[in-house]
Amino acid sequence: MGKKQVTQTSQEETLKEADKVEAAVKKETKIRQSTRVPEGRVYVSSSYNNTIVTLTNNRGQVLASKSAGAVGFKGTKKSTSFAASRVAETIANVCKKLGMEKVEVYIKGIGAGRESAIRTLVTQGINVVTIKDVTPVPHNGVRPKKVRRV
């Protein structure tokens, strides 16, 4: 093994990285329907590794979907509450473009981005009608191991 080199990032490189994340947030999102949708649903799936936010109409047809990785976060930063708030911010912008007034929120999972995603939706001016937790809960568990005979 040779000498280890310590690399230092300059301010320009850190600014470029910050600009990449900002550009990914502001990047145009594909919207499947161009018509005005007054009501819809937002599904927030928050795991230990990522946060995925999906926007649908009342029939369940997906209008837009974003994840922390798609917004520009990599590695362990995807699992933070800040990343979840950025994802919810992009979905809120899509809601505004579609003219969505009322939204039902369905939360699934036990990650860090659960509450921050909902708070961001509310602060962005989206009218949240209901919040439901649809996290699957095991009601009996797995079958126990057979008894060991010696």
Q: What percent of the chain has pLDDT over 70?
A: 82
Task: Give the per-residue pLDDT at 12.
Answer: 78
Each residue of 44-82: pLDDT tens digit? 999 999 999 999 999 999 999 999 999 999 999 999 999
What is the CATH number that goes with domain 46-133?
3.30.420.80
Task: Give the per-residue pLDDT at 107.
Answer: 96
Mean pLDDT of the chain: 86
This prediction has a pTM of: 0.73
Query: In 10 A of CB 21, how many CB atoms?
Result: 16
Nearest to 38 by CA among 125, 135, 122, 127: 127
Mapped onto helix, strand or coil, the DSSP state of residue 1 is coil
Question: Residue ranges of the domains in the chain?
Answer: 46-133
Residue 10 has pLDDT above 70, yes or no: yes
